[in-house]
Structure 1
Amino acid sequence: MQPVKHLVALLTLTGRYIFFIRSAFRKPENRNVYWRAFIEQCEEIGLRSFWVVLGISAFLGMVTVVQTAYMITIPVIPKFVIGMVARDSVILELAPTGLGCVLSSIVGYRIAAEIGYMRLSEQIDAQEMMGINTKAFIILPRVFAGLYMIPLLMILSIVVSLVAGGIAGVSRGILTEHQYRFGLLNDFKPSGVTMAFVKIFVFSFLIPTISSFMGYYAKGDELQVTKAATRSVTVNCVLILLADYIITSIMLDF
């Protein structure tokens, strides 16, 4: 009976999430208000995550190159292969999925906590009394800001990771600059970039919607709001990894 109850609870939660999204995508009552909210969320999602993404991306790129060089122990394998492996690892997996999980803990937690405290302080109830579609007002600016800023952060992550990886590889004497650059360009497939953008756009939709959903229906005191925000990070990470597997399986045709 216990597995059945869990399944029913999961389906119920999924249904509430779908109806929540459906209610959110309505015509804005006041476009200027929504536009200001969108700009504010772009700043929150993009600018306030900039340095974190920059630092994490740099270290991921350096570690990828060093570990790839450590694993390639056969002398007959040319050094430029390190650049190829680093390129594909960063573009296909580390930048989109790694960035998605990082932003789910930074952006997702903030969104859920912010909306949860709005519910706790009865701001949402007050807006509904004024006839405002609170679901749309809360979620739409965050979703569009995520769809706009998170892909830009992914592009930044890819560039910084590959540059930092090259600096680490050349400075440690693992390979030359020419070998690394040749590896980055050798047998490059644009479909990898396409898959990375498909992933990040899916993640950019999941993070704000799930976090908004968790915060919107948070009940209780401050502790319960914190638990809802923490739960949103967990759910986001699980769904990001699940979506990552599905998209990879479909687009790589396995």
Structure 2
Amino acid sequence: MGKALAQLGKFTVMLRKSWSKPENMALYWRAFIDQCVDIGLRSFWIIIAVSFFLGMVVTMQTAYMLTVPAIPKSVIGMVARDSVILELGPTGIAAVMATVVGFRIASELGYMRMSEQIDAQEVMGINTYAYLVLPKILASVLVMPCLTVIGCFVGLLAGGFAGESMKLVAFSDYLFGLTDRFKPNTVSIAIVKSYVFAFIIPSVSAYVGYHVVGDSLAVGKAATRAVTYTCVAILMADYIVTSLML
């Protein structure tokens, strides 16, 4: 318990030191743009592919479970809509981002720590917490909600395509189910989740990578550990946000 509290304290200190005034705004801006490219553009097609197949699977499984003839086919669209928007979209995309982006961030900072690049920057008077961690958090908070919205849209569209092509539900019935008794609050919950996950992924991964101790082999172990911690934190945050907003 004491070790966990100590780690939480170090994590809080890292976040506090990260939110400081930049020494060179132009340098920080370039770092922010680079992170937007790394986190957003380089993950775009992965998110599209995952969302596409996720939407198709949700539609097929929903159609498989609805075996009562009295239930209208439009219910498939309703179930797929709420499943993708509320849970599978934001949480599934966050899990993928934790694997792809979180591993990269932890590895990058871990190798910088091993090669003493972080120490060299600190000697030059650079606040390494702010320069190395803050742009990653800000870029993730900006980009990830956009990826979540796009992913949910692609998933729902793919679900309609799968239902039509496999003769499970007509696209018109599926589309009616998407709009029938739609609650805008579900979109708000998905957006809030995406912002929370967007903060968790770079901050936890950066913390683990920044505090790597050992040789180069420890970097790989730390990156794997960062993905594990991030996924656990995402699931915990998912439960908290859902219980508060539903």
- Is residue 67 of structure 2 the alignment partner of residue 41 of structure 1? no
Partner-residue secondary structure (3-state), 1:46: helix
Aligned to 1:54: 48
Deviations 1:174-228 (A, max 9, x none): 1111101100000101100000011110000000011110011001111101111
Aligned ranges 1:62-81 → 2 under 5 Å:
62-81=56-75
Deviation at 1:156, TM superposition (A): 1.1
Alpha-carbon distance between aligned partners in 2 of 1:89 and 1:50, rounded to the nearest angstrom? 22
Specify which of 184, 190, 196 is matched with residue 196 of structure 1. 190
Alpha-carbon distance between aligned partners in 2 of 1:178 and 1:92, rounded to the nearest angstrom? 23
Aligned to 2:113: 119
User: Identity percentage over the alignment?
Assistant: 55
- Is residue 210 of structure 2 the alignment partner of residue 216 of structure 1? yes
Aligned to 2:225: 231
Instruction: Give the AA of the match of 1:185.
Output: T
Instruction: Give the AA of the match of 2:58.
Output: T
Alpha-carbon distance between aligned partners in 1 of 2:200 and 2:61, rounded to the nearest angstrom? 31
Aligned to 2:236: 242
- TM-score of the superposition, structure 2-length normalised? 0.99
Alpha-carbon distance between aligned partners in 2 of 1:230 and 1:22, rounded to the nearest angstrom? 25
Partner-residue secondary structure (3-state), 1:181: helix
Instruction: Give the AA of the match of 1:68.
Output: T
Alpha-carbon distance between aligned partners in 1 of 2:172 and 2:129, rounded to the nearest angstrom? 53
Alpha-carbon distance between aligned partners in 1 of 2:71 and 2:2, rounded to the nearest angstrom? 53
Runs of 4+ residues over 4 Å off in structure 1: none
Alpha-carbon distance between aligned partners in 2 of 1:148 and 1:133, rounded to the nearest angstrom? 22
Alpha-carbon distance between aligned partners in 2 of 1:43 and 1:235, rounded to the nearest angstrom? 24
Alpha-carbon distance between aligned partners in 2 of 1:33 and 1:186, rounded to the nearest angstrom? 49
Paired positions, count: 246
Aligned to 1:21: 15
Alpha-carbon distance between aligned partners in 2 of 1:10 and 1:77, rounded to the nearest angstrom? 50
Unmatched 5+ residue regions in structure 1?
1-6
Unmatched 5+ residue regions in structure 2?
none
- Is residue 178 of structure 2 the alignment partner of residue 184 of structure 1? yes
Deviations 1:157-185 (A, max 9, x none): 00110011100001111111110110000
Alpha-carbon distance between aligned partners in 1 of 2:70 and 2:23, rounded to the nearest angstrom? 66
Alpha-carbon distance between aligned partners in 2 of 1:54 and 1:108, rounded to the nearest angstrom? 18
Instruction: Give the AA of the match of 2:85.
Output: I
- TM-score of the superposition, structure 1-length normalised? 0.96
Alpha-carbon distance between aligned partners in 2 of 1:22 and 1:228, rounded to the nearest angstrom? 22
Deviation at 1:147, TM superposition (A): 0.5
RMSD: 0.6
Deviations 1:104-149 (A, max 9, x none): 0100000000010011111100000000000000111100100011
Deviation at 1:66, TM superposition (A): 0.3
Partner-residue secondary structure (3-state), 2:133: helix
Alpha-carbon distance between aligned partners in 2 of 1:222 and 1:100, rounded to the nearest angstrom? 28
Alpha-carbon distance between aligned partners in 2 of 1:236 and 1:158, rounded to the nearest angstrom? 22
Aligned to 2:129: 135
